[in-house]
Every structure is written in C-alpha cells, then in structure tokens.
Amino acid sequence: MNPDIPESRGWILAGLAALILCVPVSVYVVGSMLGAGVQFPLFRYQETYMGANVITIFHDLQYVLEGTITGRSALMPVFWTAGVMSGIAGLVSVAVPPRIHVLYSPRRSGICIMGAGLLYLFALIAQYGPSFSSSGGFAIPVGVPVLVVAGWLVWSGILFPGAGETDEGEPEESQDNSS
C-alpha cells in the first residue's frame, strides 16, 4: 500500500462516485398528476397511467436527435447530459492518484461537481421554468443541493486534505519587491 495515500481515500472516492452517479437529482410530476417519477443522473424511473418505465439518458438524447422531443423540452436532456459529463469529469479528476499532478486536481474536481449540480438545475428550469412548475408538471430538485455541497467539500479540501492550495501541486511563490 502506498504510504502517500490514506486508507480512507478509497472509501471517500467510492462514496463520492455513488453520490455523483446514484443520488436522485429530482422528483417530478407529469401534467395534472398523469404520472410521477424520480430522475437520477443516468436514468429516470417514471410511473404513468400507461405503466412504469425506466428511461435512460441515451434514450432521451435519441428522442431529441430524432425530433420526438422538441422545443423547451429538448433542452432538458442536453443540459442533463452536460451535467453527467461534468460530474464524471470531476470524479475522474480526483480519482487519479495524486502523484499524477497533471490530472489530479481536487479544486477542478469540486468545480466540476458543483457545475454538474447547477447544470441539472438549469435542465429543470429549461423544462419547468424558474419556479419548477408549469402546465407540463412540476419538479423538486432534491439532489442539486447535495451535489453543490459535495462539490464544495471536495473543492475546499475537506474531503481530500493535503491536496495543497494549487492545482499543480507546487507551492505558490510570493513576490517580494522590497529592495
């Protein structure tokens, strides 16, 4: 075992991965109680009067590309996919070993994770409006605050202490101009 990497780092990374990919980001109702569902980063579970469905993010994007979903509703899968990509980039940025200074960056990772939460929020605003309620239903962004707080914990160095203040892993040089 590498003495530079604490034992708890693996558990923290596993928990962070579960949080980023498995936390329910929003709970929503379709129309006038025609259905309801829970949206996770990679899929959504939806129950309507026609039955229960699991719709992956890939199917949502396919619906947009085929023109099945248009207008404001087409923006939601685009923002959602950007949020997933941002969250995965943040996870990868902190999951690489710290000795690989080019890729390892808790600060960048924290920003990506917070960005993922904000992109999910923009997706909900694109679908339901700024009040998260429209004639198409309403949504409650339950997981967005969790992702923003998790991103801040990574960015601030609380979850990964000893990461240093800079992304490069080198101490900042102070410029003293007094001569």
List the chain domain ranges: 24-141
Q: What is the pLDDT along the chain (179 residues), one digit of tens a residue?
A: 444 555 676 777 878 888 888 899 999 999 888 999 999 999 999 999 999 999 999 999 999 999 998 888 899 999 999 999 999 998 888 887 777 767 777 888 899 999 999 999 999 999 999 999 998 899 999 999 999 999 998 888 887 765 544 444 444 454 555 54
Q: Are 138 and 29 in contact (CB under 8 A)?
A: yes
Query: pTM value?
Result: 0.81
Q: What whole-number distance in Å separates Cα of residue 33 and Cα of residue 168?
A: 51
How many CA atoms, within 13 angstroms, populate the side-chain half-sphere of residue 18? 6
Give the single-character DSSP code of 42. S
Q: Are 132 and 125 in contact (CB under 8 A)?
A: yes
| Percent helix, strand and coil across the chain, each to the nearest 5 | 45, 15, 35
